[in-house]
């Protein structure tokens, strides 16, 4: 049940470098628009788009904040497969943030075992990660997803 949120196939360093170079050529506004399109993509992203999404989430604090702002019980189901795809190919620098966001999306989408797995992974990786801390508190307090949308 938790395999989708634990599977990781590290991308080649040169592939990550190429993606980061392409992203550096974009304006901040273009990057945010790209992020919004990828995180809610239907059909779900894969391959290069999944790596781009992971890179955007890993290097943009405002990108992670934007995803959190857009997350709801309604959007979580659309975002979840895209965040799974990003998690599976995320470069090392993006792993913790991508897994934390995937955990929030899992919780909001009613995927309790996956949310728990993500919370554990984030805690093991970086116990002080801010989004991970939020996820851990939600999990520890047993807060129901409907409270998020209030």
Per-residue pLDDT tens over the stretch 98-127: 999 999 999 999 999 999 999 999 999 999
pLDDT of residue 150: 80
Share above pLDDT 70 across residues of the chain, in percent, rounded to a whole number: 99
Q: What is the pTM of this model?
A: 0.95
Segments in 28-111 forming alpha helices (H): 28-39, 47-59, 61-70, 76-89, 95-108
pLDDT value for 123: 94
- Distance separating alpha carbons of residues 100 and 96, to the nearest angstrom: 6
Count CA atoms within 13 Å of residue 82 on its CB side.
26
Confidence of residue 68 (pLDDT cuts 50, 70, 90): very high
pLDDT digits (tens, 9 = 90+) for 26-41: 999 999 999 999 999 9
């Amino acid at each position: 049940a938790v395999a989708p949120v634990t599977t990781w196939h590290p991308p080649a360093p040169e592939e990550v470098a190429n993606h980061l170079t392409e992203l550096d050529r974009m304006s901040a506004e273009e990057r945010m628009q790209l992020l919004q399109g990828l995180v809610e993509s239907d059909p779900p992203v894969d391959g290069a788009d999944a790596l781009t999404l992971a890179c955007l989430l890993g290097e943009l604090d405002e990108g992670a904040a934007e995803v959190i702002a857009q997350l709801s019980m309604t959007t979580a189901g659309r975002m979840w497969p895209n965040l799974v795809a990003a998690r599976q190919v995320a470069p090392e620098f993006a792993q913790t943030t991508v897994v934390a966001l995937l955990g929030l999306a899992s919780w909001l989408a009613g995927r309790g075992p996956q949310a728990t797995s993500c919370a554990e992974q984030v805690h093991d990786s970086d116990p002080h990660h801010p989004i991970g801390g939020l996820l851990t508190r939600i999990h520890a307090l047993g807060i129901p997803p409907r409270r998020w949308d209030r």
